[in-house]
Chains A and B, each alone.
Chain A
Amino acid sequence: MKKMNIKIFSFLSVLILIGIWLLLTLSGWVKPLFLPGPKELYEVITTSYKDVFMHMGYTLIRQLGGFVIGSLAGIIVGLLIASNRYIEAFMDPIIEILRPIPPLAIIPLLILWLGIGALPQMLLVVFGCFVIVIVSTVEAVRNVPRIYINAARTLGANSFSVYRTIVLPAIIPSLVGAIRVAAGASFGLVVAAEFMGAQEGIGYYMIIAQRYLRTDMILLSIIIISALAWLTDQAIRILERRLTRWSERHS
């Protein structure tokens, strides 16, 4: 019963958003160029759904690949850094130099160095997810209660075992936030990456839309990206619930 009520609230908020959109567009208060209405949206969907599906597929492959590789690399390097003061001292400046580089800024350099293939596009997503996850991993490792590590060490675990059996499971709840942020960012990154000469993908579709100020296409792209991101987030949450059943947060 209570769960039902909560679902209704979620439903309501989506309904209100859609309601506002319908009100603004159907009343004619806002012109379609500024905010396309249901008519424009319907039209653009019916005329180009095939193209859009094709673009979506390409985008999804780049996003998923980049997100998974970048996040995994971030976790692994983060664990490495947090494991040893010397590694940390060595890696920290490199990470700190790389981390803030705006992906937009290196697009021309990446193209110069690597051309316009799938590699530099994926790399941009990998890089973006990597720097998000690595920082959170280092923080999460620092926040693992010492007593668990101490207990493991007195039970004979070496540094590697401690990492595998204690640090890794203990940081999962804290990592979830970072992974979710990285997943969200990966969609923004893949769009930026597809600015680098991709000839397909939602990012490409968006550039074309921007060039012609086709706000209907822009809106459709945003809806698609949001939907994909939402689905990804739901998947992460389901995975999380399975991985952190032991945690207090679910009781």
Chain B
Amino acid sequence: MARITGALRSPVTFSILAGLVIGALFLVGTGADPFAAYGAVVTGALGADGIGATLTTGTSVLGMALALAIPLRAGLINLGGDGQMVLGGIAAAVTGLYVPLPAPLAVVLALAAGIAAGAAYAAVAALCENRFGVPLLVSSLLLSYPATAFASYLARYPLKEPGSSLPQTRRLPEGVALPVFGSSTVTLGLLLVVLAAVVYWFVDRRTVAGYEIRMTGLNSRFAAYAGVERKGLTLRLMATSGGIAGLVGAIGVLSFPYRFLDGALTAPGYTWTGLTAALLAAAAPLGTVLAAFFFAVLQVGGLAMERTTEVPRELTQVLQAIVIVFLAARLRFPRRRGGAAEKPAAQEPVPQGESV
């Protein structure tokens, strides 16, 4: 009971409500009916016709949200999700195309290759911080661009499907694909990602490593005092993060249309949506899953809303960002309470009228 009232009063609830209200104001301002628009989002994303798309989109969003939440749990921000995902995708494509193994084995190997490629590349960003002192935020972001360019080059030249108008690889051999649920577009990838979420939840809640990660995120000096080694942790977390991003890429390639198409993985902006979800949930495992689902609903429902009500889908993107803006102040809150040494605002005496 206390938990329920607590959840209702939490800043997350507040931020989401505030976002919805501001979104409604936008809608009224442009002459649209907010109830119809929001209704269209919900039916479009969760109705019988939409739930498949929501789960498909949710696979990628949740995957990227996990990828970014894991380092975020320790206070590290990985902005290089795009590059890691794309490298995972191209690695999976190469493996799927050229490994002379029976299809099921090729699928497993392609997934593994995707994970390995993403992990290795993210580890480079971690090394940039550990060895060269380039902040992770910047190193991961800057490294992302060459990675996407490299994958694009591969898809355009050495791996290009002959005769195609698109920069895409050949279609993977028959059977080298993730199994699909019924006639939907939802693949086994969803299960893989959910499994990753469960593992994350388990590690976070029940293991020594998860405990150390959480404590690092809450107070890195405290963790260091107790012997948690930061550089090693950064490397491991980034590799895990990149590995999951790579997995998302591999899942993308091993799903319809079963090939690597330049730009297809990055254009929908899963990395940013995933980061937003991770931020919204403060990287907590269960919260990240819920937030990722929430954003998948917004994304798919937004498109459906545009089809049925003429309200631009960008509205849902606006909603997403507003929620995060409202939350940003809260995100810092626990850390601020912790820093008794860095005297907070109350310490700042109010200066008197300053003559300039």
B partners with A: no
Chain B interface (Cβ within 8 Å of chain A)?
none
